[in-house]
Amino acid sequence: MKTGRLEFKCASAIFLLSMNFCLSQTLSISPNSEANAVCPLGDITYTISNYNTTCHTISVINGTVVQDNDDGTLIVNWFDNGLKGSITVTRNSSGCSDKAGTQTFDVPIKTLAQVRPTITGPLAPNGPRAGFVNQVTYTAQLNWPFRGTNDPDPFPVTVFDWTLPPGWSNNTFPATASMITVVTNIGGGGEITATGRTNCGAGATNSLTATNTANRTLSPPCPVIAQRLNERCGEAGVNAFAAGSQPEGYGFNNPQWSWSLPQGWTFNGPTNSQFINVNTDGQHGGTVTATFSDYGVSASCPIQIPLVVATPGTFVNGLDRLCETQTYSLSSQLAQGASATWSVSSPVVPISPASGSGTSATLTPGVGQGAGSDATLTFTVNGCGLTNQFSKEFFVGKPDIVNPKIDGFAGASRVVCPGWHNLTATVLGDDTNPFCISWELINNNGCPHTPFTIRTEGLPIST
């Protein structure tokens, strides 16, 4: 037996059991149990059909013949050099022309370096998840760079052995899969290795280094929801708060909630829960903040709860024009600890009274020169050190109307016949927005050709 090339001489008696075997004109070389693409360091058995020890010579390239039974059975261990191996059976005598001719069987050998797995996955598995449930995926894949287009499939990889940094764990079943889910620790990191092993026992290890220490964040526990969105002056009570969903990535064994409250407020129950009740003092408002912490990483979510002296959205009720006495008032009741005063400003037409206290004001316009002007009524509400103002603007005026005419004739009354008549009057001052002007026709008993009294407090119209 020679390494790399063997010459076999066999007696014809070896083949007496099968005469057709020697008479066949085709040599066939095939592995008995393994795939054609092989790993080094594995002893592979091959059978050579139609082999004749007298007429054929066997040579092996890039491999060592471990055993030759001189009967067409050959065991080869291939070199770990990354080159393609081959088994060649050559007819070596002209006297064997009736025997099968030369045949070569190529073996695409995969070296240990070539079966070294490539590992892919995040080198810094940070992000919105943190703590012991920062799950990330790593994948190992064997490289077969020597495999040609027509080469048979490589050996299947049956097992990947993984090692992880301290505190990290494999969350995959089976743990020897090519793709695993890794549960990282809160920090640190280290080498992640994967060893791919084929079913012929060959394999190699590769690694990458990952860290889980920088830029770890948590999603903030937003929004914070309040049972009441404001606190009323002088009205102490209990308000309930709930933080948003517990952030993704919290540590199973170490979730921590904390809350901060405005001055004067106290907890009414647990202080480290996702849901809390709070005693409010009726004197302060401010910011309520929920903070979730996990192994040194935290995120906060605030909500503003203002102290108010009146219900938010309070406004002043009343008409948009003041032509005669009417009442204006706040749309909601004041808080228990609040009081209100009011004042009115009118640059042209006087209004009586001009100021007062309480949540309503009854106003009467004076007679001005012209069509009137805009006025503003302002309620000022005080309580618990707070001051809020609620205002309303309106038009005020009782304009002077002169020169009334009926069909062009002056006079406050006139006998007219049935039909259309032109009634006119002059409004003194700016008449572009005379909101407070109207006409009124008074029929004296409704008899034909009787006088109509025309009140000249209106716009020019035709009747």
pLDDT for 42 equals: 64
Q: Domain 5-107, what fold?
A: Immunoglobulin-like (2.60.40)
Report the range out of 25-34, 294-303, 402-411 with the highest average pLDDT.
294-303
pLDDT for 93 equals: 78
24 pLDDT higher than 90: no
Residue identified by tokens 């903040």 is: 289
Residue 336: half-sphere exposure toward Cβ, Cα within 13 Å: 9
Give the span between the Cα atoms of 154 and 174, in whole angstroms. Answer: 22
pLDDT for 13 equals: 32
Contacts of 164 (CB under 8 A, 6+ apart): 170, 182, 190, 192
Domain regions of the chain by residue span: 5-107, 117-211, 225-307, 316-396, 401-462
- Taking only the tens place, the pLDDT of each residue in 320-352 is 888 788 999 999 999 998 999 999 998 777 899
pLDDT for 304 equals: 96
pLDDT for 363 equals: 95
Bridge partners, residue 135, by sequence: 183
pLDDT for 398 equals: 64
pLDDT for 199 equals: 53
Give the span between the Cα atoms of 97 and 88, in whole angstroms. Answer: 18
74 pLDDT higher than 80: yes
Characterize 443-462 residue by residue with b for buried, 16 or more Cβ atoms within 10 angstroms of its Cβ, and e for exposed.
Answer: eeeeeeeeebebebbbeeee
What number is the average pLDDT over the span 214-242?
87
Q: Is the dihedral of CA 270, 276, 279, 280 positive or negative?
A: positive
Percent of the chain with pLDDT over 70: 65
Question: Which stretch of 24-33, 48-57, 300-309, 372-381 has the lowest confidence by average pLDDT?
Answer: 24-33
Report the range out of 105-109, 186-190, 301-305 with the highest average pLDDT.
301-305
pLDDT for 241 equals: 96
Q: Which pLDDT band holds residue 316 (cuts at 50, 70, 90)?
A: very high
By the 8 A CB rule, do 233 and 386 touch?
A: yes
pLDDT for 35 equals: 47
- Taking only the tens place, the pLDDT of each residue in 387-399 is 999 999 998 876 6
Q: Domain 117-211, what fold?
A: Immunoglobulin-like (2.60.40)
Read off the tokens for 412: 């406050």
pLDDT for 243 equals: 92
245 pLDDT higher than 90: no
Q: Taking all residues of the chain, what is their mean pLDDT, rounded to a whole number?
A: 75
pLDDT for 435 equals: 46
pLDDT for 119 equals: 81
Strands of the sheet with 351-352, listed across from one edge: 316-317, 326-330, 360-365, 351-352
315 pLDDT higher than 90: yes
pLDDT for 414 equals: 67
pLDDT for 202 equals: 54
Q: Domain 225-307, what fold?
A: Immunoglobulin-like (2.60.40)
Q: Is the dihedral of CA 314, 317, 320, 324 positive or negative?
A: negative
What is 316-396's CATH number? 2.60.40
pTM summary value: 0.47
- Taking only the tens place, the pLDDT of each residue in 159-170 is 788 888 887 788
Task: Note whether 117-211 and 316-396 share their fold.
Answer: yes
Cα Rg of the chain, angstroms: 51
What number is the average pLDDT over the span 231-235?
93
pLDDT for 451 equals: 43
pLDDT for 40 equals: 62
- Taking only the tens place, the pLDDT of each residue in 250-307 is 544 456 789 999 999 999 999 988 999 999 999 999 999 999 876 667 789 999 999 9
224 pLDDT higher than 80: yes
Question: Which stretch of 38-42, 77-81, 189-193 has the lowest confidence by average pLDDT?
Answer: 38-42
Give the span between the Cα atoms of 226 and 70, in whole angstroms. Answer: 90
Question: Which stretch of 102-116, 255-269, 355-369, 385-399 has the lowest confidence by average pLDDT?
Answer: 102-116
Percent of the chain with pLDDT over 90: 26
